[in-house]
Structure 1
Amino acid sequence: MHRAPPVAATERALPAGTARVEHRAIRPTAWAAPTVPSDPPEPERISRAALTRLIEPGDAAIGRAVQRHGVVGLVQGFYEGAPANRLGLGADRITAYQERLRKFNPVTDLERIAKLGGRFIIPGDSEWPSQLDDLGDSRPIGLWVRGLPSQRLPSLRLLALRSVAVVGSRACTAYGRHVAGQLGSELAERGWVVVSGAAYGVDTAAHLGALAVNGMTIAVLASGVDICYPRGNEPLIERIGRDGLLVSELALGMNPTRFRFVLRNRVIAALTRGTVVVEAAPRSGALSTARRARDLNRHTMGIPGPITSELSAGVHTLIRNGAATMVTSGAEVGELIGAIGSDLAPERVGPILPRDALEPPVARVLEAVPASADGAPVQRLAHYAALSEATTVQHLHELSSLGFVERHGAHWRLVRRK
């Protein structure tokens, strides 16, 4: 007898012996004004939103079914209770999905995320990070994102192009906490976006390190983006939602489980250009992120620790086996990751995207920036680009994160090639 795989639920108990999940829903007014879409969401987005509430992240069987039938056709098949041989899934699984689809409305979820100051992005959107496609059939169905695009927050796709994951033990030592915080600050000061999971320990230190220097950070959650977990990190998660981005595959209101934490790690590994492990015992979950990063041909790095520390043993094993490169500073991380292609050589600063890949308004701003060493003020650039000053500033920050321009006092100028 075939048994259906576990069906995603808004409430699920953790395995025996695991502490009960404590969470708190994030206040919707804490960060940003709502952005209600002007047009009804298209069927593709509605169907993908529905799937994020039905399935567990990384379900390769669903990924293959989406390829065969299209996401709209697949979800319609669930609604209708289509025969198992038609969808290529177990009959009991289809029945379970059909029953759950009657209990919620995905359009409501899309309206809620807009009111919370966020959005649901899907493959094909201009904001979709295409590097997630490297996950193949287990790539995310879509991503719920909290944090509005602004002058400091260009799209997730652009931020991910300059991102580094910093992961490690929740129960880190004082050494690990110090190193993770310092690494987060050093990376952010060099223009890198720090990505982690908002857990206790190394994650927290890395996020705080980036925020301490007014840098950019992204938290990839194992719950809905309206849920604060762990409870003790509520202030940090709220701050990231205000000054950075919260990202999740899970629909609003869905709680974390042990399984979801493991699956979340693959998104961190795929989203970023490289992963740094600060402290990790031999069986630490952070090592799964490092292994996945290596499998995806991302740079995998490790921070060495005391040889007497069990929490550094996993990192030392990665380095000894050649599965990770030893690094000791943000500068070394940047040199290693930046050495991809001639445009990213560590000896000079250069753009990480060709000009023809820029959105037209962004390209207009770039064209307006003079080649002189003094540059030009925002007001003049906005005039030449025929955009508002606020929009011009937003695009200048995007161009800065991509290595095209830099601030020079109150002016902006082109980055000089060495």
Structure 2
Amino acid sequence: MTEVVGATELVNDLAKRSGQAAAALALLSRADKDAALHAMADALVAASAQILAANAEDVRRGRESGTSDALIDRLQLTDARIGAIADQLRNVAGLPDPIGEVVRGYTMPNGVRVQQIRVPMGVVGIIYEGRPNVTVDGAGLCLKSGNAVLLRGSASAAASNAALVSVLRDTLNGCGLPADAIQGVPADDRSTVTALLHARGLVDVVIPRGGAGLIQHVVNNASVPVIETGVGNVHVYVDESADQQMALEILRNSKVRRPSVCNAAETLLVHRSVSAEFLPKAAKVLQDEGVVLHGDDDTRRIVGDSVVPATDEDWDTEYLSLDLAVGVVDSLDAAVAHIRAHGTGHTEAIVTSNIDAARRFTRQVDAAAVMVNVSTAFTDGGEFGFGAEIGISTQKLHARGPMALPELTTTTYLVQGEGQIRGVS
């Protein structure tokens, strides 16, 4: 109980400081924010050596504790990855400032002018697992959208996150902006997560980013409003009319490019009429890349014993590794039914040459992103031109899909007049 009370006091103090910083951010111009973002990008590159040293400590501890290769890949930074993270900040600086955007506006018959405008959320809490890039993406997007941010990363990336936050806070100070606009929440005690989830009135919204366990813990235990980012049990369906070479390239890219991220394919569904021709080619392409196939009886009969028998659990698994569930379906309707039963509302893809099949698929699957003849790897804020993203929202209220600047705002109604008063009714 003492630890919980101490964590609550700590987090509440951080949140109050964030609130003060948010009030100051609300007055900044776009030029002020963009200059800070460019300065942050330059500072990260300049501090690469110290960031990589901290990250190496996290990676060493992860390997010693038996962390999987997929999770190590998410955790590990390189000079190239730091450069890419810095470029994301520069991209965000180049995007329009959403604050002050008029969503709708009109003048009433009595001359009163009504405008619905975008304003910052205020204080945003982000709870995430071992991906240090989220530290910078979250800080940059929140700064540009006028929000202060509380970053609660995982203990597995504690050294990396501390180094990144230190660089970002020092840069804000150097730009004359409040350093408390970016704060890290200590990750050495799980009770800080509980305290952040219960800081209602001090924290305006919490966004979880990670695996199913983390997301459900946040959703089920928060009293602060939550924007739910979802698990990616992503399907690629190869229709009977598909260009099979195209399908092979899309499948390889969707699964193998970065198997540890949420937009990676986890299940392949193939129309029965082309399964005997397509599956042996797909198996060779994927197995050459080290992918373990978990197939239904039809897939194993066509491809052979190199395919592991699929269990019921496989159809619901986000592997985040070089594993792929494979099934044969009788029709487009059967593929859609499978996806609706096992999908997580993240990303679903169809490869087809049939316009009607594409239309039916896009209307019937329930997902934040639906891809037609394109890799699932494109479900990404950067690829969509958003500069970066906080995560992929799979809920339907407020935000859905890659969450970037507009999704980190709310609206207020600005009502202006020349002394009008409302009559008695």
| TM-score bracket relative to the smaller structure | under 0.3
Which of the pair has the greater relative contact order for Cα pairs under 8 Å at 6+ separation? Answer: 2
TM-score, length basis structure 1: 0.22
Higher strand share: 2
TM-score, length basis structure 2: 0.22
